[in-house]
Amino acid sequence: MNTTQLEERFEKISIVPVVVLDDAKDALPLAKALCNGGLPCAEITFRTAAAADSIRAITKEYPDMLVGAGTILTTKQVQDAVEAGASFIVCPGFDPEIVDYCLSRDIPVIPGCITPSEVSQAVKRGLSTVKFFPAEAAGGLPMIQAMAAPFSQIRFMPTGGINADNAGDYLASPKVLCCGGSWMVKKNLIQEKDFDKIEQLVREAAAIRKEVFPWA
């Protein structure tokens, strides 16, 4: 999957569930809840040792799901994620080593950028989408709109503080490609294996896009 295809899928899905899995055994029931709820996508964060195995399990059982790796801090994690089946890489900040590593291997990468200097580095490398993290703490939608003015070719993936109450406002901005959020895949619900509740929250999250883009 190339970057253009990835961005098209992101825009269609609009909300990317950001997932933390402590146990890879929870990966498949979670994936089922995401697909049934209408968000066949997941950014599996490398905050736990279960990340790679979770990606491997989901991509094998649900090959049509859009599955990527988040919280990537090293090139070794990039290797592990891609070998497990990740279609994209998301970083919390702009790490030139990781970005250049991914670009040299045609691996779609979305680095975190919250300053014009960081966005400039992304533009210099030909990127068209960056992560805006932590979104709410860094100024939210007003900051995105202000920073986007001189960077017409860039769209943002705000993550951090995004929830059911403000996701629609972000998605309504033409400078926002999609939003990342974890409110529908809360860690406690996964630990309690309450996948029915997760599916319900996912369904409600998916409905936000329909409210913003009723014609889509």
Q: Mind telling me the catalytic residues?
A: 43, 131
Three-class DSSP category at 206: helix
Peptide bond between residue 134 and the one before it cis (omega within 30 degrees of 0): yes
Separation of alpha carbons 75 and 148, rounded Å: 28
Nearest Cα neighbor of 119 from 110, 11, 9 is: 110
Integer Rg of the chain from CA = 16
Nearest Cα neighbor of 87 from 24, 21, 8 is: 8
Please count the CA atoms within 13 angstroms of the CA of 182 that sit on its side-chain side: 17
